[in-house]
A = this chain, B = another copy of it.
Amino acid sequence: MSEHHYAVIMAGGGGTRLWPVSRKEKPKQLLPLLGEDTLFQSTVARLKDLFPPERILVVTVEEQAREMREQAPQIPAENYLIEPSPRGTASVVGLAAMVLKKRDSQAAMAILPSDHFIRNVDLFHYLLKAAFDVAENGYLVTLGITPTLPSTAYGYIQQGKPLDGNYKYPVYTAESFKEKPNEQTAQQLLRMGDHSWNSGMFIWRADTILNEIGKQMPDLSEALNAIGETWDAPERIETLNKLWPQLKNETVDYGIMENSERVAVLPAGGLGWSDVGSWSSLFEVLLPDMNGNISTNSALHLPHETHNTLVYGGHDRLIVTIGVDDMVIIDTGDALLVCKTDQSQRVKEVVEHLRKHRQENFL
């Protein structure tokens, strides 16, 4: 990997879809959801051999930064970029690009969510290298994930023409972006074969993305310039605190990618990727037994006539399931979730309900 290549880990979110394990104070990326390491630690570890810690940046909010510094002390303190408040991924990406451009005028960066799972790390490394090659030619590269089921939980990218160039991996123009589809449309997209899941992983040069922001989000571009001017001065925080809250809350996808003509997509199969976006996704990430069951603490799970069921947590108690099919059972100290797997996207509605009813202790 070139010395001008950087990784930028985005970790601002406080998702609610893995409640009751993830909480307001302990968002998903800071939790050891899938083993001993937290998702954030796994994301950092996955970059080993590719980027030295000095070339790994983290963009996050103050509330999470302290915990992250503890979890990944090898990343230099100045590489933690603190958003005064979450303002969408477009702002995050812009901030990181601005900072990197100032450090290194030739910088190129891989934007990586902090809370995803990737089983095949070797392939991930290979794809990143291939993507940086494409990015060096001025493209906004996005990693697509070849769908393995008609998921309604992901956005989709349709690939267009193959991109000319002597690349290590097939790469295409992006024909269109599609929001999370309904079941029927998802079936159709899967059959069409030219649609990938939008993974939220992007690779581009800092100057490419800053140019694109200049064209498509001039307000953001202007704010970034102003922030950049005082970035290395004592007024950094003051400027940030003043300008950041005024930014439009926008995603990279809607704000930039959908209307850009420089988007390239690398449709990756076999990566073993998941956004760990709901409890049902754990069936892809952890390996079920012969009955389709997953127990994170199998010594204390007694399944009778139980199939395709996830039993998560319950580290100090016995969990018996009888005649249970296609369920997730999430057992934490103060809350228990029993949910039909195909409805696990609705967990966020429960969190919303708790918020409305001010049951703060369960949030």
Question: Which chain B positions have C-beta within 8 A of A318?
Answer: 20, 334-336, 359, 362
Does A48 sit within 8 A of B, measured CB to CB? Answer: no
Binds B, one of A168-176, A185-193, A342-350: A342-350
Question: Which chain B positions have C-beta within 8 A of A305?
Answer: 343, 346
Choose among B323, B335, B339, B350 the residue that contacts A342 (Cβ–Cβ < 8 A): B323
Q: Is the CB–CB distance between B340 and A317 below 8 Å?
A: no
Q: Is the CB–CB distance between B316 and A334 below 8 Å?
A: yes
Question: Which chain B positions have C-beta within 8 A of A1?
Answer: none
- A314's closest neighbor in chain B, by CB? B336
Nearest chain B CB to A296 CB, angstrom units: 14
* Given A20-B318, A334-B316, A323 contacting B339 (CB threshold 8 A): yes
Q: Is the CB–CB distance between B362 and A338 below 8 Å?
A: no
Question: Which chain B positions have C-beta within 8 A of A333?
Answer: 317
Interface size class of A (residues with CB under 8 A): 35 or more
Question: Which chain B positions have C-beta within 8 A of A320?
Answer: 20, 335-339, 347, 350
Nearest chain B CB to A168 CB, angstrom units: 44
Nearest chain B CB to A207 CB, angstrom units: 47
Does A217 sit within 8 A of B, measured CB to CB? Answer: no
Choose among B314, B316, B319, B336 the residue that contacts A319 (Cβ–Cβ < 8 A): B336
Q: Is the CB–CB distance between A304 and B346 below 8 Å?
A: yes
Given contacts A316-B334, A320-B347, A322-B343, 16 further A-B contacts (CB under 8 A): A20-B320, A302-B354, A304-B349, A305-B346, A318-B336, A318-B362, A320-B339, A321-B338, A322-B340, A322-B344, A323-B339, A323-B342, A324-B327, A324-B338, A324-B340, A331-B336
A-B contact pairs, 15 of them (CB 8 A): A304-B346, A305-B346, A317-B334, A319-B338, A320-B335, A320-B347, A321-B337, A321-B339, A322-B347, A322-B350, A323-B346, A324-B339, A331-B336, A336-B336, A338-B338
State the A residues within 8 Å of B (CB): 20, 302, 304-305, 314, 316-324, 327, 329, 331, 333-340, 342-344, 346-347, 349-350, 353-354, 359, 362
